[in-house]
Structure 1
C-alpha cells in the first residue's frame, strides 16, 4: 500500500512539473512578458554585467527564453502522450 502511495505522489509531481513547464512555454513575448519587462528583447542588462553579476531578473529572463526554445518540441510529444494516456485509461 505504501508503494502505491509513493507512485501516486511521484505521478502528481511529474504532472505538476509538466504543467509548470507548459505555462512557461506558452507565455507571449509581446503581450505579457514585454509588459512586465521580462522579455528577452526588452531586457538590457547594465554595461559590464557578466554572468557572475547577473541579477535574479536576468536569470529569470534567461530561464524563460531557454525553456521556450529547448522544450517546445519535447512538450508537444509529452502532452500528446499524456492526452492519449488519459483518453485510454482516464
Structure 2
C-alpha cells in the first residue's frame, strides 16, 4: 500500500501551481520585495537576471500569464473526477 502515490503527487503539483497563479502582485508580492517594479532598468542600472530572486519572480510571472487558462481546465477536470469517483 503506497502512502504517497502518483495521484497525490499530481494533486500537490496542481495545488502548488494554483498557489503561484493566485498570488497578487500588488497586495502580497510587492510587500515582500518580489514585485516587478520596472520592466527596463534605468540608465546605468543593471537588472540581475541570474539571481535566485529574479528567477523566482520570472517563474511566478510566467505561471500567472501562461498557465491561467490551462489551470481552469485542469481544475475543472480534477473537481469532476473527485465528485464522480471521490
- TM superposition score normalised by structure 1: 0.79
Larger helix proportion, structure 1 or 2?
1
- Specify whether residues 18 and 61 from structure 1 end up closer, same or farther in structure 2 by C-alpha distance, changes over 3 A only: same
Unaligned runs of 5+ in 2: none
Secondary structure of the 2:80 match is helix
Count of residue pairs the alignment pairs up: 84
TM-score for both structures, normalised by structure 2:
0.83
Partner of 2:23: 27
**Alignment match, 1:47:** 45
Cα RMSD for the two superposed structures: 2.4
Per-residue deviation, residues 27-64 of structure 1 (Å, max 9, x unmatched): 0011000101111236877834464xx21111110010
Would you identify which runs of 4 or more consecutive aligned residues in structure 1 move more than 6 Å?
43-46
Secondary structure of the 1:66 match is: helix
